[in-house]
Amino acid sequence: MAHERAYFKPYPRLVIPSLTHKTHTVNNIFVYCEIEDGKVADVSLELLTKGRSLATQLGCKLEALAIGFKLDGIEKELFPYGVDVVHIADDKRLAPFTTLPHCAIIVGVFEQEKPQIAIFGATSVGRDLGPRVSSALHSGLTADCTSLEIGSHTDNKTNTVYENLLYQIRPAFGGNIIATIINPDHRPQMATVREGVMKKEIFSTSHKGEVKKIDVAKLVKSEDFIVRIIERHIEERKIDLKGAPIIIGGGYGVGSADNFKLLFELAEVLGGEVGASRAAVDAGYVEHARQVGQTGITVRPKLYIACGISGQIQHTAGMDQSAMIISINNDPNAPINQIADYCIIGDVSEVIPRMIKFYKKNSK
Residue 176 annotated in ligand binding: no
Using CA atoms, how far apart are residues 73 and 211, in angstroms rounded to an integer?
A: 10
Helix residue ranges, H only, 227-320? 257-270, 278-282, 313-316
Residue 314 annotated in ligand binding: yes
Q: Cite the beta strand spans of the chain per DSSP E.
A: 20-22, 29-33, 35-36, 39-40, 62-68, 85-90, 117-121, 141-145, 147-155, 160-172, 177-181, 189-193, 210-213, 246-250, 273-276, 303-307, 325-329, 342-345
Cβ contacts of 118 within 8 Å, gap of 6 or more? 29, 30, 31, 32, 110, 133, 188, 189, 190, 191
Residue 308 annotated in ligand binding: yes
Using CA atoms, how far apart are residues 157 and 160, in angstroms rounded to an integer?
A: 8
Choose among 247, 248, 276: nearest CA to 262.
248
Residue 313 annotated in ligand binding: yes
Using CA atoms, how far apart are residues 157 and 352, in angstroms rounded to an integer?
A: 56
Point out which residues pair with 167 in neighbouring strands: 149
Residue 24 annotated in ligand binding: no
Residue 18 annotated in ligand binding: no
Point out which residues pair with 162 in neighbouring strands: 22, 153
Residue 295 annotated in ligand binding: yes
CA torsion 187-188-193-199 (nearest 10°) is 120
**How crowded is the C-beta side of 155, counted as CA atoms within 13 Å?**
14
Helix residue ranges, H only, 114-256? 124-136, 216-219
Residue 292 annotated in ligand binding: yes
Residue 134 annotated in ligand binding: no
| Secondary structure (3-state) at 312 | coil
Residue 310 annotated in ligand binding: yes
Residue 284 annotated in ligand binding: no
Residue 297 annotated in ligand binding: no
Residue 278 annotated in ligand binding: yes
Helix residue ranges, H only, the chain? 42-58, 74-78, 99-113, 124-136, 216-219, 257-270, 278-282, 313-316, 348-362
Residue 277 annotated in ligand binding: yes
Residue type at 106? I
Using CA atoms, how far apart are residues 47 and 32, in angstroms rounded to an integer?
A: 9
Which residues sit in the known binding site? 277-278, 291-295, 308-315, 329
User: Which residue positions form the known binding site for FAD?
Assistant: 277-278, 291-295, 308-315, 329
